[in-house]
């Protein structure tokens, strides 16, 4: 119902709203995103392997092509801006997994973890270097018309190796990645304010009260151990550091 978020049209947040024509007059200017998660798990169910394999990638492209085709058909039929959104599903990755597991039980590489994999991402536990991950996901990002992100995980900051950082970023750019992130750990001591990469205690004051800032999804958030549900917390813990294989 429009009343669920009336501020979106009462304050002209969505341009083009015409009261006598109703909410549709504003919706036609926005994006109606069809989100998706769990491509890797879907492939495991269908053929027993994910898109890190050649066979898996062939089927992945068929699936994503179907999403893109349907959104194009809906745009023509309804004259609204439907788009494919490769969502991180901050909450759904866990709640959907609980529902799936309750119905189908534990399936290896499908429901044996507390989360579904983000959109069309490589499963976070797959060991590979940054360029391999970019190569795989770059083959699928073009199927999204409403948003996507590709990231690589580094074990530490890059302030002392900017050349390596530039190499990775330019490689993603050359592969036409539309939204790219390099994830590094950022720790802050809640007692003395010291900020850098830390172990269990602050090297300046010895405090164990440390907030650990991580790019869990597309945005930087607070301490991921309190800002996200169990599924997303487990996903972050499972993420391999791609530089280890580089």
Average pLDDT score over residue span 169-192: 91
Give the tens place of pLDDT for each residue, 51-107.
999 999 999 999 999 999 999 999 999 989 999 999 877 788 899 999 999 999 999
240, 221, 180, 197 alpha-carbon torsion, rounded to 10°:
-50
Q: Which two tokens stand for residue 94?
A: 């866990």
Comparing CA positions, the residue from 138, 104, 146, 125 lying closest to residue 40 is 125
Most confident of 2-11, 25-34, 168-177, 183-192: 168-177
pLDDT at 214 over 90: no
Query: Chain-wide mean pLDDT for the chain?
Result: 87
Confidence of residue 246 (pLDDT cuts 50, 70, 90): very low
Average pLDDT score over residue span 153-180: 90
Range in 22-36, 101-115, 159-173 the model is least confident about: 22-36
Q: What are phi and psi of 60, to 5 degrees?
A: -60, -45
Quote the crossing angle between the two packed helices 130-138 and 162-174, to the nearest 10°.
20
Task: In whole angstroms, give the CA distance from residue 48 to residue 40.
Answer: 10
């Amino acid at each position: 119902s429009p009343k669920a978020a009336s501020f979106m049209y009462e304050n002209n947040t969505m341009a083009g709203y015409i009261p006598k024509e109703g909410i549709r007059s504003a919706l036609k200017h926005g994006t109606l995103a069809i989100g998706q998660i769990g491509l890797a798990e879907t492939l495991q169910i269908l053929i027993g392997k994910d898109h890190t394999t050649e066979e898996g990638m062939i089927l992945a492209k068929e699936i994503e092509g179907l999403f893109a085709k349907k959104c194009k058909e809906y745009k023509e039929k309804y004259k609204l801006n439907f788009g494919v959104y490769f969502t991180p599903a901050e909450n759904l990755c866990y709640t959907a997994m609980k529902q799936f597991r309750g119905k189908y039980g534990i399936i290896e590489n499908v429901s044996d973890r507390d989360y579904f994999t983000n959109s069309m991402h490589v499963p976070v536990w797959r060991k590979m270097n940054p360029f391999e991950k970019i190569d795989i996901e770059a083959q699928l990002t073009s199927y999204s018309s409403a948003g996507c992100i590709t990231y690589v995980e580094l074990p530490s900051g890059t302030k002392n190796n900017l050349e390596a950082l530039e190499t990775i970023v330019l490689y993603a750019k050359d592969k036409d990645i539309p939204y790219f992130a390099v994830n590094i750990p950022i720790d802050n001591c809640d007692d003395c304010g010291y900020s850098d990469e830390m172990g269990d205690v602050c090297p300046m004051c010895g405090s164990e009260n440390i907030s650990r800032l991580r790019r869990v999804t597309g945005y930087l958030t607070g301490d991921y151990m309190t800002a996200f549900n169990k599924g997303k917390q487990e996903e972050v813990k499972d993420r391999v550091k791609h530089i280890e294989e580089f």
